[in-house]
Structure 1
Amino acid sequence: MEPAVTSAITLGEHTFDVLTAGPSGGVPVILLHGFPETAACWRPLLPRLAEYRVIAPTQRGYSPGARPVGVEHYTVDRLGSDVVALLDHFDLPSAHLVGHDWGAAVAWWTAANHADRVGSLTAVSVPHSSAFSWALREDADQQARSRYISIFRHGDSAERALLADDGERLRAIYGDVDPALVDEHMRVLTEPGALTAALSWYRAMGREFTDVPPVRVPTTFVWSTADDAIGRAAAEKCAEFVTGPYRFVELDGVSHWVPEEAPDALADEIVARVEGARV
C-alpha cells in the first residue's frame, strides 16, 4: 500500500488536514471521524483498504485551519457541505462514505441531501439522525445514555471539566483505545479553541440535525453491543429511514470505539458495502 500522507487542503475559507492513502486511481472512499477524535482513528483500517483511494479529513473545528469561532459555523449542513467541497477539490463525481460517531451523522446528512455524490454509505455507531432523535424522545434507555449531550451543550463548563488535571476526563472517554492514538487526538484537542470547536457540533444541533430525509443509497449500519452511547432501540429504528439496500451489522462485545477496537471487522463491512454497490 502507498504510504498515508497528511496534507493541508483549502476548501473555501478553511484549510483542512487531510489524510490520504492508496492508489490515486482507486475507488474513492471518504472516512469521517467522530468526537473526540481526528482522522488518525482510521489508521488501523488502512491496510485492509489498501486498494481504495482513501481520503480522511480531520474535520471542521479539529483542523487548526478550519476552526471558525461561533456555534453557527458547526451546523450539520455546514459539516456536510465540507464533504461536498472535498469531493469537488479532488474532482470526484461521487465517493463511498464511511462515518463513525459524529462523522456518521455528517455522512447520513450528506447521503440524504446529496445522493448523487454518494456511491454508498457505511455508518458506524450512530444511526440515522431521525432514528436517534426518536429514541431520545421515546426510549428511556437512550435518554439515560445521552445525558452527556446536555452537559456538552452547556456553556464552557464542559471544556473546563474535560481539560482539568491535564485532560484526565477527556482522556478517560477513549476507554481502551491505543494510547498512541489517544495521544494524537489529545494533541489536537488541547490546542487553543479546539475543544470548544469540537463541542460546538453538539451545541449547534437543531432542525438541520433532526430533519434529515431518508437515505436511498446502499447503506450498512454497524452497531456494537457494548456501545455506552447508543442503545439497541435507536440502532434497530435506523432501518425505517433507509429506502435503498440496507444491512444492519452487530459487533458483539465491542465498545463505541469500533474503528480502533474492531478495525478488521469494520474494514470487511466497508469493503462488502463498496463492492456490493459497484455491482
Structure 2
Amino acid sequence: MSSQSGLSCEDVELLVDASGRRVEVGDVTLHVVEAGPEDGELVVLLHGFPECWYAWADYFRPLVEDGYRVVAPDQRGYNLSDRPADVSAYQIDELAGDVVGLVDALGYEKAHIVGHDWGAAVAWWTALHHEDRVRSLTVMNLPHPTVYRRHLLRDPAQQLRSWYMLFAQLPKLPELLAPVGDWAVLERMMRSSSLPGTFSETDMERYRAAWSVPGAYRSMVNWYRALVRDRPRPKRRTVEAPTLIVWGTNDRFLRPKMARESLSYCADGHIRTFEDATHWVQHEEPVAVARAVIEHIDDVWWTPNNTPDEAGYRPV
C-alpha cells in the first residue's frame, strides 16, 4: 500500500462484508468503515491516538454476527477524514458534534457509543452533552472528564504520566520528530506500553500508512493542543446512559484508580477490569472485551419493554 494513500478497508481482511465511504457530518467529512445489517442497532466505534478506524478490526465480526450495524470512523484529522487546519477545529465540542452528525447522516436517532483513549474522551463528552442520542456508552482506559481533570490538577503521579500532553504543545517539533526513522517513536511508544506481541509488523505497517497521509499527524497532535488551550468542563457531570468502563490496569499513561472513581459519575455504571492488560486492552483481550461490549449493549437493547414486535428488530 502507498504510504501517502492512507488505510482503507480494502487493505484489511475483516472477515465480514464491510465497505468504506466518506460521510458529511457537518463542517467536515469523515471516512467510515461500516458493516452489518442496515436495520440493525447502530454501534459507533471511536478510536484513540495514534490509531484510526483499524483499531477496531477485531470487533466488526462479533458485533455483526450479533446483528448490529457497526460503523468505525476515522475521527477528524485522522487517516482519510478531513483535516481542518485550525487548532480550534479539534475542540471536544466539535469532536462530539461529529459523532452526532454521523448518527444523523446514517439515519438513526440513537447509537451505542464505544470509545478507547481519545475515542473514549469523545464518547464521554457525547453522552454528557447529547444524552438523547446515546443508547449506551462503553469507554476503555479513559476516565470521566471530571475525574481526569481533577487528577491532572492535583495528582503529581498522574501529572508525570501525562507529560506527553505538554510536549504536544510545542509548535512544529512533534510533527518534525514523529516521522523520523519511519515513525520509530510512535512504534516504540505503542510496543513498549503494550504486552509483547500486541502489535504485529502488519499492524504497524497499516498504522504507518495512516500516519503518513500529508497533514494527518499535525491534526492528530492538534487534539492535544486544543484540549490544553480550551480546558473544557462538561456542562453536566452525570452520564445517564447505561455505561460500561473497561480498563487494563497496567496502563502506563493513566492511574487505574480513576476508573472506579468514574463510576460515581454514572447513573447506571459498571466496570470490567483486566489485571494483565495495559492501555491497549481492546487489542490484548479482543475476545473477552468484545464479549463484554456485546453483553452490555445486548442488556440495554433487549429489555422486557423492547420486544421484537415493539422494536421491529431484535439482533440474533
Following superposition, the deviation at residue 86 of structure 1 comes to: 0.4
Quote the residue 1:273 is aligned against: 296
Mean Cα deviation higher: 40-49 or 102-111: 40-49
- Partners of 2:80 and 2:113 in 1: how far apart? 23
Deviation at 1:198, TM superposition (A): 0.4
Residue of 211, 214, 222 corresponding to 1:200: 222
The alpha-carbon distance between structure 1 residues 65 and 207, as it changes in their structure 2 partners (threshold 3 A), is: closer
**What aligned pairs does 1:71-150 form with structure 2 within 5 A after superposition?**
71-150=87-166
Gaps of 5+ in 2: 1-14, 192-197, 304-316
Residue 185 of structure 2 aligns to a residue whose secondary structure is helix
Contact 2:74/2:80, CA 8 A, preserved across alignment: no
**Residue 175 of structure 2 is aligned to residue 159 of structure 1:** yes
Rounded to whole Å, the distance in 2 between the matches of 1:72 and 1:207 is 8
Q: Which amino acid aligns with 1:87?
A: V
Which residue number corresponds to residue 187 of structure 2?
171
Match of 1:249 among 272, 275, 279: 272
Following TM superposition, by how much is the alpha carbon of 1:161 offset from its aligned partner in structure 2, in angstroms?
Answer: 2.0
> Contact conserved, 1:29 with 1:95, CA < 8 A, in 2?
yes
Secondary structure of 1:30's partner? strand
1: distance between equivalents of 2:56 and 2:133?
Answer: 22
Aligned partner of 1:230 among 245, 254, 260:
254
Q: TM-score when scaled to structure 1?
A: 0.95
Go from structure 1 to structure 2 and tell me whether the alpha carbon gap of 1:65 and 1:47 turns closer, same or farther (over 3 Å shift): closer
Give me the whole-angstrom Cα distance separating, in 2, the residues matched to 1:29 and 1:202.
26
Shift of residue 110, structure 1, vs aligned partner: 0.3
Percent identity among equivalent residues? 34
Rounded to whole Å, the distance in 1 between the matches of 2:16 and 2:211 is 28
2:218, 2:272 → 1: CA distance? 33
Q: CA separation in 1, counterparts of 2:72 and 2:112?
A: 12
* Aligned residues of 2:79 and 2:213 also touching (Cα < 8 A): no
Is contact 1:45-1:259 (8 Å) kept? no
User: Is 1:264 aligned to 2:280, yes or no?
Assistant: no
Q: Which residue of 1 aligns with 2:19?
A: 5
Give the structure 1 partner of residue 205 of structure 2: 183
Q: By how many angstroms is 1:219 displaced?
A: 0.2
**1:151 Cα deviation after fit:** 0.7
Q: Equivalent residue for 1:22? A: 36
How much has 1:11 moved relative to structure 2?
2.4
Q: Which has the larger radius of gyration?
A: 2
Contact residue 135 and residue 233 of structure 1 kept, 8 A: no
Q: Is the 8 A contact 2:91 2:230 kept in 1?
A: no
Structure 2: distance between partners of 1:209 and 1:174: 27
User: How big is the shift at 1:181?
Assistant: 2.3
User: Quick check: 1:61 aligned with 2:85?
Assistant: no
Q: Residue 74 of structure 2 contacts residue 81 of structure 2 at CA under 8 Å; is this kept in 1?
A: no
Secondary structure (helix, strand or coil) at the match of 1:88 reads helix
Q: CA 1:185 to 1:250, structure 2 compared with 1: closer, same or farther past 3 Å?
A: same
Q: How far apart are the structure 2 equivalents of 1:2 and 1:197?
A: 30
- The root-mean-square deviation of aligned C-alpha atoms, in Å, is 1.6
2:112 aligned partner, one-letter code: H
1:189 corresponds to which letter in structure 2? W
Change (3 A) 1:212 1:155: farther
Name the SS for the 2:207 alignment partner: helix
Amino acid at match of 2:69: R
Q: Counterpart of 1:194 in structure 2: which amino acid?
A: A
Name structure 1 gaps, 5 residues minimum: none
> Which whole-Å CA distance do the structure 1 matches of 2:129 and 2:215 have between them?
30
Distance 1:113 1:211, change over 3 A: closer
| Structure 2: distance between partners of 1:136 and 1:122 | 23
2:90 counterpart letter in structure 1: Y
Which residue in the other structure is 2:314 paired with? none
